[in-house]
Amino acid sequence: MTRFLCTPGGRIAGSLRVPGDKSISHRSIILASLAIGRSHIRGFLQGEDSLNTIRAFRAMGVEIARDGDRVEVDGVGMRGLQAPADDLDMGNSGTAMRLLLGLLAGQQFDSCLVGDVSLSGRPMGRVIDPLQAMGAVIDSSTGGRAPLRIHGGKPLHAIDYDMPVASAQVKSCLLLAGLYADGETRVREPAPTRDHTERMLRGFGCRVETDGAEIRLAGGQSLAACDVDVPADISSAAFFLVAASIAPGSDLQLRHVGINPTRTGVIEILRLMGADIELLDPREIGGEPIADIRVRSARLHGIDIPPELVPLAIDEFPVLFVAAANASGQTRLTGAEELRVKESDRIQVMADGLATLGVDARPQADGIVIEGGSYGGGRVDSHGDHRIAMAFSVASLRADGAIEIDDCANVNTSFPGFVGLAREAGIGIEADDA
């Protein structure tokens, strides 16, 4: 059991680079493994979630060499994966489980996806249902939960699918299955979601067409090896964007951050709240837009978060709730029921933790209402959710007392080295491994 101990106060300053983007790291291993030839990946996230994806493809016969954040993958082609000897353990990663489910549905061998207690409690019906409509045969536990047993050798046919909920994981799952399907798979999303899969598929030589909200992909295509430069993860940078915004006298620069327009909702929301955020030296590397980001302390004010920005910031809301607690007035979020089926029920867990500190936070079925103001210290439970743990670490910058955060070990799944980098930036944090 790991606990974070955070002393109140502090100022955020300096220049730092957060670890590589988790979404792109997952996808780089998946597509490089299916490509023909050797792909080189740099900036790879060395967190447990991403490393589990490497282990899964090694178990399916792919040769992968890693030296820190540099990875070489000798792809085996679309039909070169081998049956794993054991279950494929995705640990805490819903992204890896959902994307691999689509890929494994098109293989000739049987396989089984498992995860930790948290992941095993997350519903997978939103990907199982459309995959079964494509012809996949998948057995799951009650409520469409892991373990997920995929019966190989089942021919897949293309699907024309309107997603009921905006989800990049569902979209990516179906596109990967579509690579193995007869015909053209069409997916329409109700709101824009991160498009890393489409961009990276094109980088590996696959033809993917986008027409407004519709994404089209023809089955039977092959992939060619390519090099991938993984930018710093904006979801990880978000903790420092909020930290520097709320801590008086702060001035921080974040280097080489991915600013894909389907991921910048956190920047847009913070700017609407009055944050002082500047994008420096915008550029494009490997099809992904990147910039350095300068953020300085500012007086934040509460807002009604625009519904169109919700899918573009879905992973960043825990720390955005901390920003709201430090803003003048009321912040209201709606249309975010997706937050209730993440690594934890992020609406309820954040509301409980904020209430412990003395913040007026009222959870709603699809969101939350937060009244900004001063708050104290206390002991909160992250429920094993890495983003909850890091969010309350940021909250300590403006707390009137120390904050203790329980169950923080899973921070290493997405942000290895968080404690050291947070201390370097100016947050008074220590990790206590009981």
Exposed, middle or buried, 184 (CB in 10 Å: 0-12/13-18/19+)?
A: middle
Options 116, 292, 315, 407, the catalytic residue = 315
Q: How many domains does the chain have?
A: 2
Q: CA 43 to CA 356: how far, in whole Å?
A: 38
Domain check: are 210 and 286 in the same one?
A: no
Strands 228-229 and 36-42: parallel
Residue 352 structural domain: 2-20+232-433
Domain check: are 224 and 306 in the same one?
A: no
Domain check: are 324 and 253 in the same one?
A: yes
Q: Please, are residues 50 and 25 in contact by the beta-carbon 8 Å criterion?
A: yes
**DSSP-assigned letters across all residues of 77-89:** -TT-----SS-EE
Closest CA to 343 of 133, 116, 127: 116
> What phi and psi values does residue 139 have, to the nearest 5 degrees?
-105, 140
Residue 308, pLDDT score: 94
Residue 43, pLDDT score: 96
Q: Please, are residues 163 and 338 in contact by the beta-carbon 8 Å criterion?
A: no
Domain check: are 277 and 413 in the same one?
A: yes
- From the CB of residue 111, how many other CB atoms can be counted at a distance below 10 Å? 24
Hey, is 159 helix, strand or coil? coil
Q: CA 325 to CA 306: how far, in whole Å?
A: 18
Domain check: are 65 and 207 in the same one?
A: yes
Instruction: Strand 330-333: give its sheet, edge to edge.
Output: 330-333, 367-371, 360-364
> What phi and psi values does residue 382 have, to the nearest 5 degrees?
-80, -10
Residue that finishes a domain, picked among 197, 229, 261: 229
Domain check: are 321 and 190 in the same one?
A: no
Mean pLDDT, consecutive 10-residue stretches, the chain (434 aa), reads: 96 97 96 98 94 98 97 98 98 95 98 95 94 98 96 98 94 98 97 94 97 97 96 97 98 98 97 98 92 98 96 96 98 96 95 98 98 98 96 98 96 92 98 86
Domain check: are 15 and 43 in the same one?
A: no
**DSSP-assigned letters across all residues of 262-328:** TTTHHHHHHHHTT-EEEEEEEEEETTEEEEEEEEE----B--B--GGGSGGGGGGHHHHHHHHHTSB
HSE of 269 in the Cβ direction (CA atoms, 13 Å)? Answer: 32
Residue 434, pLDDT score: 67
**DSSP-assigned letters across all residues of 362-379:** EEETTEEEEE------EE
Residue that finishes a domain, picked among 179, 206, 229: 229
Peptide bond just before 289 cis, omega within 30 deg: no
Closest CA to 427 of 398, 385, 386, 388: 398
Q: Please, are residues 355 and 325 in contact by the beta-carbon 8 Å criterion?
A: no
Domain CATH for 125: 3.65.10.10
Alpha carbon separation from 294 to 11, 273, 281, 424 (Å, rounded): 15, 16, 11, 16
**DSSP-assigned letters across all residues of 163-185:** -SS--HHHHHHHHHHHTTEESEE
Domain check: are 276 and 192 in the same one?
A: no
Task: Based on the residue annotation, tell me whether 315 is a catalytic residue of this protein.
Answer: yes
Tokens of 130: 């459309």
Q: Please, are residues 23 and 262 in contact by the beta-carbon 8 Å criterion?
A: no
> What phi and psi values does residue 311 have, to the nearest 5 degrees?
-65, -20
Domain check: are 319 and 378 in the same one?
A: yes
> What phi and psi values does residue 293 have, to the nearest 5 degrees?
-125, 125
Closest CA to 108 of 86, 85, 132, 82: 82
Strands 36-42 and 403-406: unpaired
| 214 Ramachandran zone, left/alpha/beta (phi>0; psi -120 to 50) | beta
Residue that finishes a domain, picked among 171, 199, 229: 229
Tokens of 12: 């955020």
Name the DSSP letter for residue 342.
Answer: S
Tokens of 258: 């991915």
Tokens of 179: 């690579």
Domain check: are 14 and 66 in the same one?
A: no
Domain check: are 163 and 268 in the same one?
A: no
Please indicate, yes or no, whether the overall pTM of this predicted structure exceeds 0.85: yes
Domain check: are 209 and 242 in the same one?
A: no
